[in-house]
Structure 1
Amino acid sequence: MQSLCLKPPNISPPAETIASNQDLLTPVLLCIPARSLLRFKCVCKNWFALISNPKFCDIHASKNPYPKVSAFFFHTAIHDFYFISIPNNENQSGSLLKPPRIIEHPPRIKILQSCNGLLLCCSLREITNTSSTPRCYFVLNPTTTKCSAITNSPYATKSTSILGVALAFDPSKSLHYKVLCIRCIAGSVISFQIEIYSSETRNWTLREATFLRPFHIDFSHGVYFNGAINWISRTSRVLHYNIDEESHGMVSRPPSYNVFRKREYRYFGESRGHLHLIEIYMPCVTQFDVMEMGRDYSGWFVKYHVDLDPIAAAFPEMVPEHNLDDPSKEETWYYAFVVLFLAREANKEGSSLLLHIPCKVISYNLRDKSFEKACELTSKGTESKRSLQVGWRDAYHYIETLACV
């Protein structure tokens, strides 16, 4: 009797099964960082189609609303910008390079704001002897290199002029962003015209607001927090405008504010739903408090105390040379450091300051006051090893996101 030889069934390995099954693959890919997913597009056509799907991108952005900061964009001139990458590998050096051309629209652009992975930018006017090119605004996702131009507002008139433009985007609440434009009205110091652009409708809406403008408010530096755009004045008063509720309010100076002491604020920014302010009083520039705003706008309170003296001792390039010549002079109050970003983490023990000192980026743990070198920067040109390369007002943090623009 002839025996029958049955072939075993062709069973795929578990990894191959997952890779070829979209229902099984999708939950796995949603846990992968955005930058890695872009590389995974090259695996096969099915992966390319899945990762490129706007619905997948939206879900990924909503499930990963607060990834870690991985780089900074910053301006070195009025028409140029560079970036610092923060490597995960301690043995790598951070790059201080001009980024690749990520948009083809305006040849000269300025970054206005970074908000949860998206950049609000504007073109710079090209002024000639006969005319000037109108400024245009757009929202850019540096991760996907996608860009969306903001249509001109139909509510602009000759009697109004732009004070500031700001971006509102929180993927944990909505996958759509809004752009706020605030204009002053000629002849009035209390009436303002506020226009809101929605990425969902691609249209502008007009709102009017009446409030007394605080002295020296900086409308060019808006920060999105708690559903509102927040602006700060030179005297550390905060004006906030809630986009959805169409309401505004004012928060007074921090309790520690001292009008008789020489001071400057070095940082005003948001992280994971927390708004922070750093003021430095002379002459103790290396010791200061980090203040946090109450979510109900009840006022500022001290969240952390910072002592940078151990960093200055470990990295002497942070101390300018003239400080060493005559410590009694007022100029010795200056130390070469810039607060790039305050990163709040889900794990409270991991919250940190990212500091830029000459040729380095330092990570300072706000809980235990430990610090480590995040990356080494290559010095640009012939700059002194004790000189800074980035100013805090010109640094814009970059986090990876697949959010659609």
Structure 2
Amino acid sequence: MEAPESAEQIANNEDLLTEILLYLPAKSLIKFKVVSKQWMSLISSTGFCLSHACSPRNKGSLKPSALFLDVYHFPPSEFSFHPLTHDCVRLPRFDFIDEPIVMILESCSGLLLCASYDSFPDQSTIRCVAWYPTTGKVKMFPCPSSPRYFICNPTTRKFKMLSFPSSQVEDYEHEALNLAFDPLKSPHYKIISVWRQKIKEWPVPDKPEYSFDIYSSETNSWSLSKIKFPGDWGIKFNHGVFFKGAVHWYSNCRESHCFDVENECLKTMPMPRVDKVQCQYFGESGGYLNLAIAHSAAKRLKFSVFEMVEDYSDWYLKYSLNLEAEYDTLSRLPFWSSYTYSGEYVLFCAMQSEEGDSLLAVFSDGKAMSYNLKDDTLKVLHCPTVDQYGADYFCFRACRYIETLFCI
């Protein structure tokens, strides 16, 4: 049976076919690659992938469809996740990455920056030590094996291993990696590698020296040590937020830094002046930089949510609320009755949706609650049990899953 004339016209007109395919979601386009070599070539092209994300008809394509609830993946298990859309029933499997242990470092516009390990020892064995000079406290962590770093797109199941320049290894220690990617401005991404100068003698300096190396996917190369600066110990370089062309870092000190990636310059920014609190979320929501903190209380369910003003001069208090009463009510429900509060969140985040601003708290046994800040309503959620390492080290990280076709 011959194909209808209209179908032949579409198949023979690549411009018309492209216009039609641009209306389809990323998941469908991945499946349609097998239709023909022509479709495979078209859908896989860099130009089409960029047009698909930037097209007005796909305005919502860069919005997350799910949140990763833990950051470690131990095959054959999968990442636990919380869906944000009705059609997101599961995340793509990570079996395309042949690594024993995978850890998500950051998520940015659909790409994931990850580290992989051969082993992760028991917490009672090998340990590394972090010293906090502002408090005088020492905290010990289990030491995984030396990491390998890669960037991947779980939607297309593509990844690329990263290698580091070796020029600084003798005098500097590797501190963190951060991902910068804005497909609305460029199809290329950058990776900022943060190095800290080794402390070779006492006393420990109040502000050790840091430096940046910058990787560009456009040139597939690193530019070395263009920026060196003294920074506070309290800056969390291992959790960067890429927002409006700059990587921002949370700090428990009075000020922190943000790095303008395009112009390669470092700027300072203030932090909210609040004492005896714990950061629960630092990220972008609704086009603004948000910081949600939990005040020292029995259940740490008293929150202040701050928002950065546009000129970066200060933060203002956007929301202040206490969810202890709501939590006590939920804890009396039958399916919560066996739950003993551990005092630790696995994930806590602030986000904007069609229903308005909301806070999401997920606990280590899979119980969760979402609080709508617009109408003061609380929802009980059911989530998969989350790996305990996520609770120990990344309690305020919310890694977003965005379905895209972007090339690595």
Fold shared, TM-score > 0.5 on shorter chain: yes
Q: Does 1:36 align with 2:28?
A: yes
Q: Please name the residue that 2:227 is paired with.
A: 209
Counterpart of 1:22?
14
Point out the structure with max Rg over C-alpha. 1
Which structure features the higher share of strand residues?
2
Kept after mapping to 2: 8 A contact 1:223/1:230: yes
> What is the CA–CA distance in structure 1 between the aligned matches of 2:155 and 2:194, rounded to whole Å?
28
- Name the CA distance, whole Å, in 2 between partners of 1:15 and 1:340: 49
Match of residue 74 from structure 1:
70
Q: Which moved further from structure 2: 264-273 or 358-367?
A: 358-367
Equivalent residue, structure 1, for 2:103: 110
The root-mean-square deviation of aligned C-alpha atoms, in Å, is 3.9
Residue of structure 2 equivalent to 1:328: none
Q: What's the TM-score once normalised by structure 2's chain length?
A: 0.75
- Asked if 1:313 is matched to 2:358, the reply is no
Contact in 2 for aligned 1:74/1:81 (Cα 8 Å): no
Is 1:365–1:371's contact at 8 Å kept on the other side of the alignment?
A: yes
- The change in CA–CA distance for 1:243 and 1:350 in structure 2 (over 3 A counts) is same
- Which residue matches 1:367? 374
Shift of 1:199: 0.4
Seen in structure 2, the aligned counterparts of structure 1 residues 390 and 37 have a Cα distance that, compared at 3 Å, is farther
Find the partner of 2:359 among 353, 364, 383: 353
**Structure 1 residue 109, shift from structure 2 partner:** 2.9
Tell me how many residue pairs correspond in the alignment: 367
Displacement of 1:43 in angstroms is: 4.2
8 Å Cα contact 2:73-2:101 kept in structure 1: no
1:294 equivalent in alignment to 2:309: yes
Native 8 Å contact 2:235 2:249 kept in 1 = yes
User: Residues 265, 171 of structure 1: CA spacing in aligned structure 2 closer, same or farther, 3 A cutoff?
Assistant: same
Inter-partner Cα distance in structure 1 for 2:394 and 2:198? 33
SS in 2 for 1:218: strand
Shift of 1:210: 4.3
Instruction: State whether residues 251 and 271 of structure 2, in contact with CA within 8 Å, keep that contact through their aligned partners in structure 1.
Output: no
TM alignment of 1:49-64, pairs within 5 A: 49-63=41-55, 64=58
1:263 paired residue number: 277
Query: So what's the TM-score if we normalise by structure 1?
Result: 0.75
Distance 1:361 1:59, change over 3 A: farther
SS in 1 for 2:237: coil
Deviations 1:240-290 (A, max 9, x none): 1222223223333314x1x3xx42111112245422111111227333222
Structure 1 residue 201, shift from structure 2 partner? 0.5
* Range 195-204 or range 51-60, more displaced: 51-60
Match for residue 95 of structure 2 among 101, 109, 114: 101
Q: Is the 8 A contact 2:241 2:249 kept in 1?
A: yes
Aligned counterpart in structure 1 of residue 294 of structure 2, from 259, 277, 280: 280
Structure 1 residue ranges without an equivalent (≥5): 1-9, 324-333
How far apart are 1:403 and its partner, in Å? 1.0
Whole-angstrom CA distance in 2 between matches of 1:101 and 1:180: 27
Which blocks of at least 5 consecutive residues in structure 2 are unaligned?
A: 122-143, 200-204
- List aligned pairs for 1:109-128, cutoff 5 A: 109-124=102-117
Quote the residue 1:243 is aligned against: 261
Distance in 2 (alpha carbons) for counterparts of 1:363 and 1:16? 50
CA contact (8 A) 2:270 2:313 kept: no
